[in-house]
Amino acid sequence: MFSKACEYAIRAALYIAIRSADGTKLNVPEIAREIDAPRAFTAKVLQVLVREGMIQSVKGPNGGFFIKQKSKPVYLNSIVHAIDGQDILQTCVLGLKECSDKFPCPVHNEIKSSKHQMRDILRGKTVQELANEYAKGKTFLKNYKL
């Protein structure tokens, strides 16, 4: 559903939020390793997140990426919009240009409610909330083989 860049951006923001809780600043290689993403790709999405004010960075030997404890909440839809654009959940899942209620594609009616639900989730969930769920052991951030 989301681009790889968006997936990496969400995972990176979440990992940074988890590790920033104790004041840790993280570098690109560590973030890339922990979210299982290429370094160059990770660096690019982090630049966007910093530019958009979702995460912070400091240059230098004690620098790195972090999220301030008292910063405003980072909603998932903000990350999605910054990386994939505003229309990601508005467009046709089959890629048709003229898909609508009046002229639906073959899956339009089945997907419509799911897209509304996904928009609500992205608007309502913050990176900080997800980091708290992770800290309680309710979720994970790496791929594990069963």
What pLDDT band is residue 140 in, cutting at 50, 70 and 90?
confident
pLDDT in tens, 41-61: 999 999 999 999 999 999 988
Name the percent of the chain lying above pLDDT 70: 97
Per-residue burial over 65-100, b = 16 or more CB atoms within 10 Å of its CB, e = otherwise: bbbeeeeeebbbbbbbbbbbeeebbeeebeeeeebe
Q: Which of 71, 67, 53, 81 is nearest to 23 (CA)?
A: 67
- Give the sign of the dihedral formed by CA 3, CA 28, CA 16, CA 142: positive
What amino acid is encoded at 42 in this protein?
A: T
3-state secondary structure of 64: strand
CATH 1.10.10.10 fits 4-135, yes or no: yes
Beta strands in 83-133 (DSSP E): none
* CA-based R_g, the chain, Å: 17
Mean pLDDT of all residues in the chain?
92
Q: What is the pLDDT, as a whole number, of residue 144?
A: 57
- Give the span between the Cα atoms of 21 and 18, in whole angstroms: 6
C-alpha 38/C-alpha 57 separation (Å) is: 19
- pLDDT tier at 101, thresholds 50, 70, 90: very high
